[in-house]
Amino acid sequence: MLATTRFILKQNFSKVIVRRGIASRAPGRVAVVTGAATGIGRAIALQLANDGLDVSLNDLPAAEHKLREVSDLISQLGRKTCIYHGDVSVESDVQRLVDSTVQNLGSVDVMIANAGVCQLKPFAQTTVEEWDKIFRVNARGVFLCYKYGADQMVKQGRGGRIIGAASVAGKKGCAGFSAYGASKFAVRGLTQAIAQELACHGITVNAYAPGLIETDMYDSIKHVVAPGDPANAVDVSKPINAMGFNGSTEDVAGLVSYLTSYEARFITGQSIAIDGGFVFD
């Protein structure tokens, strides 16, 4: 009886070890980064290359030149890289992105679903077409990257990391960001649900939720005043967090670097704010 009990405990412990066996210290790990030509995606791609990962870069064809620049910088860091142009809201494009990464770099161990679009516009003035576009990229695009990234990781059988782009606007509704915020709330819910489904495969699923980060996207809205009573309007060009300054793309990349690490193996289902103290969970 005692021997049987020991055998069962040993078997169960072995299963736990397999489940924890996320290949985040293994050499030759490969990351996919969408929206990698500029801003946060660019910073993440360079950070992961600096961490020793090979990186598959994705963005729209219009970003060819900037994506090539990122690829050259990664090569200078001594890592392998490949480029796949495509739209994350198109299922076949995401499938081919994953297939191309495996063909050129050997695996997909980290999926960074970073690509996104933003719009600052009053709710009543937002068109259905604008709403649909934002959800196609920010919600459907993340879903597709999660889905096909997870499929490949499960097939490989050694765990992995899936990380999506949320936002503080997906933690706290903000005037003028109705469509954008709703799409980011969707990312949070998706991240929580999928984290529970993939844990048995040693795959963690998290999201980063930036506040005001100085990027091209931020530049496009920073001089727009939020709608409402002018006396209560907020100029988003001014820091509105506890720290009193806006973040950098490198700040976000540092968080993502940690989430891809072995040390983050016990974190899953979280959308982590990186906002200088704008929202408090």
**6: pLDDT confidence band, cut at 50, 70 and 90?**
very low
Encoding tokens for residue 95? 């499938």
Q: Tell me if residue 184 is catalytic.
A: yes
| CATH number for the domain that contains residue 51 | 3.40.50.720
Stretch 258-264: mean pLDDT: 98
Question: Could you list the residue range(s) of the whole structural domain that residue 114 is in?
Answer: 30-118+127-212+248-274
Check residues 136 and 234 and name the one with the higher pLDDT: 136
For the chain, how many structural domains are there in total? 1
The span from the CA of 256 to the CA of 161, in Å, is 10
In a domain, 1, yes or no: no
Q: Tell me if residue 180 is catalytic.
A: yes
Q: Facing residues of 113 across strands?
A: 164
In a domain, 7, yes or no: no
104: nearest Cα among 30, 165, 176: 30
pLDDT of 101 higher than 70: yes
In a domain, 158, yes or no: yes
Q: Is 67 helix (H, G, I), strand (E, B) or coil?
A: helix
Percent over 90 (pLDDT), the chain: 70
pLDDT of 238 higher than 70: no
Tens of pLDDT, residue by residue over 185-219, are: 999 999 999 999 999 999 999 999 998 887 766 65
pLDDT of 88 higher than 80: yes
Stretch 140-162: mean pLDDT: 99
pLDDT of 234 higher than 80: no
The sign of the CA dihedral 166, 172, 173, 175 is negative
Q: What is the pLDDT of residue 210?
A: 94
Encoding tokens for residue 275? 């906002």
In a domain, 131, yes or no: yes
Residues 6+ apart with CB under 8 A from 254: 47
Percent over 70 (pLDDT), the chain: 81
> What is the per-residue burial (b if ≥16 Cβ within 10 Å, else e) of 216-236?
ebbeebeeeebbeeeeeeeeb
Q: What is the pLDDT of residue 11?
A: 43
pLDDT of 78 higher than 70: yes
The span from the CA of 69 to the CA of 58, in Å, is 13
In a domain, 96, yes or no: yes
Q: Is 36 helix (H, G, I), strand (E, B) or coil?
A: coil
Question: Which residue is catalytic, options 184, 208, 218, 262?
Answer: 184
In a domain, 173, yes or no: yes
Check residues 91 and 12 and name the one with the higher pLDDT: 91
In a domain, 239, yes or no: no
Stretch 150-162: mean pLDDT: 98
Are 163 and 142 in contact by the 8 Å Cβ rule? The answer is no
Mean pLDDT (the chain, rounded):
87
Are 41 and 59 in contact by the 8 Å Cβ rule? The answer is yes
Question: Which residue is catalytic, options 84, 146, 148, 180?
Answer: 180
> What is the per-residue burial (b if ≥16 Cβ within 10 Å, else e) of 12-47?
eeeeeeeeeebbbeeeebbbbbbbbbbbbbbbbbbb
In a domain, 25, yes or no: no
Q: What is the pLDDT of residue 218?
A: 61
Q: What is the pLDDT of residue 14?
A: 34
The model carries a pTM of 0.86
The span from the CA of 105 to the CA of 197, in Å, is 27
Q: Facing residues of 160 across strands?
A: 203
